[in-house]
Amino acid sequence: MNTKTPKDSLTIMNELVLPNDTNMLNNLMGGRLLHWMDIAAAISAQKHCNKIAVTASVDNVSFKHGIKLGDVVTIEAKVTRAFNTSVEVRLDVWAQNVPSSTLVKSNEAYYTFVALDAEGRKAEVPGLVPETTQEIELHAGALRRRQLRLVLAGKMNAHDATELKALFMGDPNKA
């Protein structure tokens, strides 16, 4: 199976925050942003997999900065790591107030997608070859994030999460 780079899956999506997207304080509703993020992440995952990909999990999403009515939201998504049948997608969300020329980072998140074949069964995905220093760091961290997701979902015993244990307890093989 072929390999791809993170830039092959890069997806940039822009949305204008309209009144129907806001709450009573004229801030973008969190659910609307999560919806947009899911779409951007799905496009990114499908570009990498060349298959339909469905959301398997969403990591903790914290909102660092409010997004206001009239702001332009830019969502950047790209695959950080490919596993056997799944991919991790990182999203960075920016809010821009065009009249004042301000641009702030609202939040970031990781979504996991599973690739499906034509019959709806899990399908293998191409490998990922990171190129930049940041891509290499995100790729390395993806295994720890994956183990954490699996432990929290009850799909992996914490004792078996070797990458997490090494992070918190150090490498027992190093003196």
Q: pLDDT > 90: what percent of the chain?
A: 75
Q: What is d(CA 49, CA 2) in angstroms, rounded to the nearest whole number? A: 10
Q: What is d(CA 78, CA 64) in angstroms, rounded to the nearest whole number? A: 21
Say yes or no to pLDDT of 148 above 80. no
Confidence of residue 63 (pLDDT cuts 50, 70, 90): confident
- The answer, as to whether pTM is greater than 0.85, is yes
Mean pLDDT value across residues 151-165: 67
* pLDDT for the residue numbered 61: 84
Q: Which of 39, 125, 23, 43 is nearest to 81 (CA)?
A: 125
Say yes or no to pLDDT of 68 above 60. yes
Say yes or no to pLDDT of 14 above 70. yes
Mean pLDDT value across residues 16-42: 97
Q: Which residue has the higher pLDDT, 168 or 134?
A: 134
DSSP reduced 3-state for 69: coil
Q: What is d(CA 95, CA 50) in angstroms, rounded to the nearest whole number? A: 30
Q: What is d(CA 91, CA 39) in angstroms, rounded to the nearest whole number? A: 11
Domains of the chain in start order, with CATH, are 3-129 (3.10.129.10)
| Cross-strand partners of 86 | 114
Main-chain dihedrals φ then ψ at residue 112, nearest 5 degrees: -115, 135
CB 136 within 8 Å of CB 118: no
